[in-house]
Amino acid sequence: MIEAVTPTLPARAAADPLKAGLRAILNWLERPISDAALDSRIPHLGTAWTVDTLVEAADSLGLEVSQHNVTLADLGPVPCLLWLKDGSVLTVLERVDAQQVRALLAHQMERPGRLQLADLLPQVQGQSLALVPRRAKPDAAQPLPTEDVGALMGRRGHWFWGPLLQSKGVYLQVAVAALLVNLFAIASSVFSMTVYDRVIPNNAMDTLTALLLGVTIIFACDFVIRSLRAYFLDMASAQADASIADALFEQVLDIKMKVRLGSTGNLASVLKEFESVREFLTSATLTAFIDLPFAIIFLVVIYLIGGPMVWVPLVAIPVMVLAALAVQPKLRALIKESQEGGHQKHAILVETLSGLETIKAMGAGASLRRRWQEAVAHQSHIGLQTRMLSQLTGNVANAAQQFTQVLVVTAGAYLVQKGQMGFGAIIACTILAGRAVGPIAQVTQLITRLNQTLESYQALARFMAHEREHKEGQTFLERPDFKGRIEFRDVVFSYPKTTRPVLDGVSFCIEPGQRVAVVGKIGSGKTTVAKLILGLYTPDSGAVLIDGVDVRQIDPADLRRALGVVMQDTWLMSGTLRQNIAFGSEFVSDADVLAAATLAGVEDFVREIPEGYSLRIGERGEGLSGGQRQAVAIARALVARPRMLVLDEATSAMDSAAEEAFIRRLKASLSGQTLVTVTHKSSLLALTTHLIVLDKGRVVAQGPTEQVMGSEAVARSPAA
């Protein structure tokens, strides 16, 4: 459908009408989404919206997009976007009656008005894009019942089965192809039987030529259908692959911070399990499974040709299946252990690589090497056991398969001697028995693989089940502008899987434009306050309010756009300096980047570098000093001119001259933005007018700096 839409409509329509039209329709469906949230869902930031972008965004929001011809008599399904002859885009929301529709021009997000179809249809360019909630019938643009909204918000339904089900047509074709291929297989056995029983005794060489020709044609068809089947399977899995990989990455980015994911290496390794699931979906392995049910066809034909000979494969098949089932529980446990061991090994590797400098400096290589050796030894031990078990099942299957052939021939000889059938039947039944038990033998050999895939799928499913920031069915009110008032109301918070509250009844209110320092001893909860303001975590009880609205009701994308943040651990990514400064704010101009860089002090050192802002920095900011990294992080926080600034020990790695210059410049440039700085340095207090003093997760003093400094509580809390 996506391909069908693109070529006939203007490929690069004006930037905003399409986006505005989509938002208008989502509003109409009572599933409003903010501008920023919409941008955060699609990977096309910074470029104009094309029809492709629209289709992708609508699809990820649970809308089905289809293209329709608009005639003078018929508008097609609604809601839809219409291209008018004057180039503008009209959003039609619903039919009011047979003559009228409710619509609005996409670039005016005001109240929709009524339009007479008789006036409208002659102005349409010819085509419309209908955007209909998935699972709803066209024209059913009524607000959806709440339980349906949840189902629709998911990206193409279930993260794994959704994309696969999209290709259900292909899988049906593959099944039909499998049926044909297996029916063709009967041909060679019938051919042999006829040659032995009819052609040779009667010396009918003409018949033989005709038979040979027929079989050749059948084999040619078989070849074509097999190739097509493999191609279709690969196509379907490639399509699903992209969607599933995208859903996994979306989950990585959207997962709630309160979910404890374990080590980075471990998680990366779990995500890599997807490779194993994908491999399984490709042709070679899956066809063995698809062929399984067709064993019945061969058994029926053996019965028709050889009568009681069918008992041989009928006994062999359960023997093979039972052998496979008997080792299954042990195999499953071993594979689970092996995969967990693999994740562990990967975690050690990633941790070592990311801390290589420190590890070398500390001379701690030996202990890590020991951990690595233990993990490797454990995994290879498990691997050996797994291989032995799966080889055992494979060998049983192999023996059963060979024995089947021998027994079929033996039984055949017995029956021929009794005159119940001809020689040809023995040949035919031997071939057919081979075909009947073949897929089962193949599957038992693939049983390790099947278990690995199941384990991988389950590991991924557990990861996908973690709570997300954008929950299914949850809609946020749009808040494009914030004044910058930050309030904590009796906030109690403890980190996940810990019992002791880190914040215990914290209340304060920071007015728009106020400049506040949060101070206190190490571990008093200052950084946690900053993380709660950012909505990275939510309080166990009480509330964090921005402009009087609970942060839980604000779209995280809107919130983070309004907040400039420098975290304690400066994180830069590999790329140019400019990319790092504009990271997360793709629409900023070069002038904005330069202004932010000057303010943060980046300009002071960039001036002396020949590459300037094109300087490439390595992973985590390698190539820059600690202070320089902090300056880049500050520039990144300032570049989009946010209403609120949260600085957590933002200048800890700067020398006093750089810090002083930054404080001076920032102070001069602040005009009404709210500033919250978490610090234990008195130098940063020059920026602020108010203090909040924390001790053991409680506010012990707050108010204007001079007033707090003189208070008794601060006298007892030396960190302030």
Q: Which residues are near ligand ADP by CB under 6 A?
A: 495, 498, 502, 520, 522-528
Q: Which residues contact 301 (CB under 8 A, 6 or more apart)?
A: 186, 189, 432
Shorter beta-carbon distance to ligand ADP: residue 526 or 578? 526
State the Cα–Cα distance between residues 69 and 245, nearest whole angstrom. 34
Shorter beta-carbon distance to ligand ADP: residue 144 or 637? 637
Structure tokens at 78: 């609604």
Shorter beta-carbon distance to ligand ADP: residue 372 or 495? 495
CB of 176 to ligand ADP, least distance (A): 54
Q: Do residues 433 and 404 lie in contact, with contact meaning Cβ atoms separated by under 8 Å?
A: yes
Segment 525-529 long-range contacts (CB within 8 Å, at least 24 positions apart): 525/694, 525/696, 525/697, 526/648, 526/678, 526/694, 527/568, 527/648, 527/678, 528/493, 528/495, 528/502, 528/503, 529/488, 529/503, 529/676, 529/678, 529/692, 529/694
Shorter beta-carbon distance to ligand ADP: residue 28 or 493? 493
Shorter beta-carbon distance to ligand ADP: residue 135 or 716? 716
Shorter beta-carbon distance to ligand ADP: residue 113 or 523? 523
Structure tokens at 34: 């903010």
CA torsion sign for 70, 75, 80, 83 is positive
Shorter beta-carbon distance to ligand ADP: residue 495 or 583? 495
Shorter beta-carbon distance to ligand ADP: residue 502 or 602? 502
Shorter beta-carbon distance to ligand ADP: residue 178 or 685? 685
CB of 561 to ligand ADP, least distance (A): 24
CB of 544 to ligand ADP, least distance (A): 14
Element (H, E) at 633: helix 626-638
CB of 697 to ligand ADP, least distance (A): 7
State the Cα–Cα distance between residues 632 and 611, nearest whole angstrom. 16
Q: Do residues 104 and 32 lie in contact, with contact meaning Cβ atoms separated by under 8 Å?
A: no
CB of 519 to ligand ADP, least distance (A): 9
The DSSP-derived string for 28-71 is: HTT----HHHHHHHSS-TTS---HHHHHHHHHHTTEEEEEEE--
Q: Which of 632, 502, 517 is nearest to 580 (CA)?
A: 632
CB of 500 to ligand ADP, least distance (A): 8
The DSSP-derived string for 397-423 is: HHHHHHHHHHHHHHHHHHHHHTTSS-H
CB of 679 to ligand ADP, least distance (A): 10
Q: How many helices (H) and strands (E) does the chain have?
A: 27, 18
CB of 698 to ligand ADP, least distance (A): 12
Q: Which of 687, 683, 677, 719 is nearest to 701 (CA)?
A: 719
CB of 720 to ligand ADP, least distance (A): 12
Shorter beta-carbon distance to ligand ADP: residue 163 or 539? 539
Q: For the chain, report the end-to-end CA distance as a whole number of angstroms.
A: 63
C-alpha 489, offset from chain centre? 35
State the Cα–Cα distance between residues 16 and 63, nearest whole angstrom. 19
Shorter beta-carbon distance to ligand ADP: residue 567 or 687? 567
CB of 396 to ligand ADP, least distance (A): 51
Shorter beta-carbon distance to ligand ADP: residue 151 or 257? 257
CA angle in degrees (0–180, nearest 5) for 49-50-52: 120
DSSP label of 583: T
State residue 487 phi and psi, 5-degree precision: -130, 135
Shorter beta-carbon distance to ligand ADP: residue 187 or 713? 713
Shorter beta-carbon distance to ligand ADP: residue 597 or 645? 645
State the Cα–Cα distance between residues 231 and 225, nearest whole angstrom. 10
Shorter beta-carbon distance to ligand ADP: residue 338 or 524? 524
- For 544, the 3-state DSSP assignment is strand
CB of 686 to ligand ADP, least distance (A): 21
CA angle in degrees (0–180, nearest 5) for 221-222-225: 85
Q: Do residues 552 and 538 lie in contact, with contact meaning Cβ atoms separated by under 8 Å?
A: yes
Shorter beta-carbon distance to ligand ADP: residue 107 or 521? 521
Structure tokens at 13: 């329509």
CB of 557 to ligand ADP, least distance (A): 23
Shorter beta-carbon distance to ligand ADP: residue 523 or 612? 523
On the CB side of 91, CA atoms within 13 Å amount to 26
CB of 647 to ligand ADP, least distance (A): 13
Place of tokens 């949060």: 518
- For 503, the 3-state DSSP assignment is strand
**Helices marked H in 255-310 — which ranges?**
264-281, 283-291, 295-306
State the Cα–Cα distance between residues 582 and 587, nearest whole angstrom. 8
Q: Which of 315, 664, 697, 296 is nearest to 527 (CA)?
A: 697
CB of 522 to ligand ADP, least distance (A): 5
Q: Do residues 294 and 182 lie in contact, with contact meaning Cβ atoms separated by under 8 Å?
A: yes
Instruction: Please classify residue 242 by burial: count the beta carbons closer than 10 Å to its beta carbon, then call 0-12 exposed, 13-18 middle and 19+ buried.
Output: exposed
CB of 501 to ligand ADP, least distance (A): 9
CB of 19 to ligand ADP, least distance (A): 37
